[in-house]
A and B are shown apart, each in its own frame.
Chain A
Amino acid sequence: MKNILVTGGAGFIGSHIVDALIDRGHSVRVLDALVEQVHGGAGPQHLNPKAEFLQGDVCDADLVDRALEGIDVVYHKAAEVGVGQSMYEIGRYVRANDFGTAVLLEAIVKRRPQIKKLVVASSMSIYGEGAYACDKCGPVQPKLRPLSQLLDRDWEINCPQCGAKARPVLTNEDKPLFPSSVYAISKQDQEQFCLVVGRAYDIPVVALRYFNVYGPRQALSNPYTGVCAIFSGRLLNDESPMIFEDGEQTRDFVHVSDIVQANMLALETDKADYEAVNIGTGSPISVSDISLMLAQGLHKDIKPQITGKYREGDIRHCVADISRARKLLGYEPKVTLADGIPELLDWVRQQQAENTTQATAELEQHQLVR
């Protein structure tokens, strides 16, 4: 039995991790600020009653130090989440994700050798565009599409070398990082902080790069994050999901229980120590198809609204190569979309979703949707 601190442990992913840790007999303390945008001003609705709860900000050094009292392992899940909003609430995202992580790491370092492992939540967003292959030039790693291309509504990626259309391939961890939003930059910083400080002080760190996570407890009240939650929220309100570009952009949707699986494996093995590891499924699905699957599951005859607009910093395709996770963690995704979406929708039906029109309007006001 270990004493484990989970920052952000009242949130969507964190609360599932807390449940799994308690199920395995660990003693868990949660530090969570209960940010109103996520929790809707309510208390910690998903917090396991067997967990000790500390409400507060991970930027509060005194509180973080108290939270580490007697702790062996830290799961760092606290973060401001959301690409679009991060582009105008810049200071808030950087404070929470960069500064908050630095506060936590300093407190961990001061207590060494007390902390035996740190597992940090990273994100596929740090890659920017995923990996591609060009029939003529081979593997290529394009950066974001230029503005002129987006204004022409030419959505697919061009080979950066010969200009021909490139096709998406699975993205592995060695792909250079081109984070293209403040959120993505802050997640990159978080990951690098943890890995570098861990290596410097011999504190084993595992960074798990989550792809598009979905599942029950996803905050429908937060209109700035999670495409499944956003689409479900709109469908619940009998509104069409709004899809940027042409809807054919692909992502890798991974069920939260597989994210939990990876987090438990990271604790149980030392093979992934000091490594960054993709956690996804390796299976692409288009954003349009996800929208249709959600509508079908909710028995709503609502087609997505393809806006033909683009959102600042959005990528075209990114799907995980999970070879490293299989090799180092023994990870294998277990929940397919066919199984996972009905479970998500059971959750969605119990929720009151916020109207996401305001969030889109905010993006347009800041010229982030064009």
Chain B
Amino acid sequence: MNIWITGCNGSLGTRLAQHFVANQHDVTELTIDLTAQDSPRVIENLTAQTGAQEVVVHAYSKEPGPGDLLDFVNANVHATSNLIEGLTQQPPRLIIYTSTLSVYGRPSVIPVDEASPAGGTLPYGATKRWAEQLLETFQRYSRIIVLRLPSLYGADQQESFIDSLASIAQRDEPIELLARGELVRDALHISDVLRAIDNCISQPPADSFTILNLGCGKRTTTLEYARALVEALGSKSDITTVDRVTSDFDFYADISAARQQIAFAPMSLAESMKAYANELR
């Protein structure tokens, strides 16, 4: 299958490209500057040469962290607008957009489902939501699946709180968890996301535009993550909890729509940590 991937320099894009190649897909890493004004024309020229792609996985993104407003607007909104404008002449059968659960902001109830209002504040959550809206306007050309991802962990990710815990646990140093370790977080091993994307390609939902939450699917506290990780790694780290509060809030996603529509079935916490520990060894 012909697949284009944007954002191949990022951790998710890199893993996606490796995964698709390993599965015998014909993968093109779209490495052009999607924020450049002429990028729609460049894409048009590329599709004129190659014909329409079957699938485009749009993983290009400015991830949360340092950066000014312009960086987020450029990478998350402007790049998406240029991509879909460039694909108009030869639209792919399917576009999969890797969005984020951050679009919900701080929800009033958990688990949060796809019907919950988007309350993500600027710059990251709001700009990712705006990119989703732009893609929604493209559904007359291509089927669109938006996957709202939680924090991802795995080898080479280095961005999630699990990766931070792992680096401490590998050194057998003490792990201190704030808020008594009771904070509810949602995180997935990256291999679960790769399987979800495979399912989107092989059995996409019937609707022309679909938003699906991905997540671990269970209320899981930071203490539970830490214990499972320490056990999987065989680490000697002591886990202590303190009362000190954090600005983070309880969050996890309702993934019943993804279970139903793309047969999403994330690994259990123990399986997931075991897979991660094997990668780290």
Chain A residues within CB distance 8 Å of chain B: 87-91, 93-95, 98-99, 102-103, 105-106, 176, 179-182, 185, 188-189, 192-193, 196-197, 312-313, 366-367
Task: Report the Cα distance A89→B88, complex, angstroms.
Answer: 10
> Chain B 121-151 against A: per-residue CB contact (8 Å), 1 yes, 0 no?
1100010001001100100100000000000
Residues on A with beta carbons closer than 8 Å to the beta carbon of B69: 102, 105-106, 193, 197
Interface segment out of the listed B51-59, B73-81, B177-185, B262-270: B73-81
User: Is A102's CB under 8 angstroms from B70's CB?
Assistant: yes
Q: How far is the CB of A28 from chain B (nearest CB, A)?
A: 27
User: Is A88's CB under 8 angstroms from B137's CB?
Assistant: no
- Provide a sorted-by-A list of 20 A–B residue pairs whose CB atoms are within 8 angstroms: A89-B85, A91-B81, A91-B85, A93-B81, A94-B82, A94-B134, A95-B78, A102-B69, A103-B70, A106-B68, A181-B137, A185-B134, A188-B133, A189-B77, A189-B130, A192-B126, A197-B122, A312-B140, A366-B88, A367-B140
Extra inter-chain contacts (12) besides given A181-B137, A189-B77, CB under 8 Å: A91-B40, A91-B81, A91-B82, A94-B82, A99-B74, A99-B77, A99-B78, A106-B70, A176-B117, A185-B134, A189-B130, A196-B126
User: Is B78's CB under 8 angstroms from A91's CB?
Assistant: yes
Q: How far is the CB of B4 from chain A (nearest CB, A)?
A: 18
Q: Which of B53-97 contact A (CB under 8 A)?
A: 68-70, 73-74, 77-78, 81-82, 84-85, 88
B39 at the interface (CB under 8 A from A): yes
Chain B residues within CB distance 8 Å of chain A: 37, 39-40, 68-70, 73-74, 77-78, 81-82, 84-85, 88, 117, 121-122, 126, 130, 133-134, 137, 140
Closest to B126 in A: A192
Residues on B with beta carbons closer than 8 Å to the beta carbon of A106: 68-70
If over half of A's interface residues share one DSSP class (helix, strand or loop), that class is named, otherwise mixed; here it is: helix
User: Is B39's CB under 8 angstroms from A185's CB?
Assistant: no
Q: How far is the CB of B29 from chain A (nearest CB, A)?
A: 21
Q: How far is the CB of B96 from chain A (nearest CB, A)?
A: 19
Task: Report the Cα distance A102→B37, complex, angstroms.
Answer: 16
User: Is B134's CB under 8 angstroms from A182's CB?
Assistant: yes
Task: Report the Cα distance A103→B68, complex, angstroms.
Answer: 10
Interface centre among A89, A94, A176 (most CB of B within 10 A): A94
Closest to A178 in B: B133
Task: Report the Cα distance A197→B127, complex, angstroms.
Answer: 13
- Given the known inter-chain contacts A90-B81, A91-B81, A91-B82, please indicate yes or no for A196 contacting B137, CB distance below 8 A: no
Task: Report the Cα distance A197→B70, complex, angstroms.
Answer: 12
- Given the known inter-chain contacts A89-B85, A91-B40, A91-B81, please indicate yes or no for A313 contacting B122, CB distance below 8 A: no
Residues on B with beta carbons closer than 8 Å to the beta carbon of A105: 69
- Given the known inter-chain contacts A91-B82, A102-B69, A193-B69, please indicate yes or no for A179 contacting B133, CB distance below 8 A: yes
Residues on A with beta carbons closer than 8 Å to the beta carbon of B84: 90
Q: Which of A95, A99, A182 contacts B137 (CB 8 A)?
A: A182
Residues on A with beta carbons closer than 8 Å to the beta carbon of B68: 106
User: Is B81's CB under 8 angstroms from A182's CB?
Assistant: yes
Task: Report the Cα distance A347→B130, complex, angstroms.
Answer: 38
Closest to B70 in A: A102
Closest to A192 in B: B126
Closest to A196 in B: B122
Residues on B with beta carbons closer than 8 Å to the beta carbon of A89: 85
Q: Which of A179, A196, A313 contacts B121 (CB 8 A)?
A: A196
Task: Report the Cα distance A106→B123, complex, angstroms.
Answer: 12
Residues on B with beta carbons closer than 8 Å to the beta carbon of A90: 40, 81-82, 84-85, 88, 134, 137
Residues on A with beta carbons closer than 8 Å to the beta carbon of B88: 88, 90, 366
User: Is A102's CB under 8 angstroms from B73's CB?
Assistant: yes
- Given the known inter-chain contacts A105-B69, A185-B134, please indicate yes or no for A98 contacting B78, CB distance below 8 A: yes
Q: How far is the CB of A78 from chain B (nearest CB, A)?
A: 16
Task: Report the Cα distance A176→B117, complex, angstroms.
Answer: 9
Interface centre among A93, A99, A188, A367 (most CB of B within 10 A): A99
User: Is B134's CB under 8 angstroms from A99's CB?
Assistant: no
Closest to B122 in A: A196
Task: Report the Cα distance A289→B130, complex, angstroms.
Answer: 35
User: Is B140's CB under 8 angstroms from A91's CB?
Assistant: no
Q: Which of B37, B122, B133 contacts A193 (CB 8 A)?
A: B122
User: Is B39's CB under 8 angstroms from A91's CB?
Assistant: yes
Task: Report the Cα distance A102→B133, complex, angstroms.
Answer: 18
Task: Report the Cα distance A98→B73, complex, angstroms.
Answer: 7
Residues on B with beta carbons closer than 8 Å to the beta carbon of A94: 77-78, 81-82, 134
User: Is A180's CB under 8 angstroms from B78's CB?
Assistant: no
Closest 7 CB pairs of A and B: A94-B81, A90-B85, A91-B82, A102-B73, A90-B81, A185-B133, A91-B85
Task: Report the Cα distance A328→B152, complex, angstroms.
Answer: 45
Residues on A with beta carbons closer than 8 Å to the beta carbon of B82: 90-91, 94
Residues on B with beta carbons closer than 8 Å to the beta carbon of A91: 37, 39-40, 78, 81-82, 85
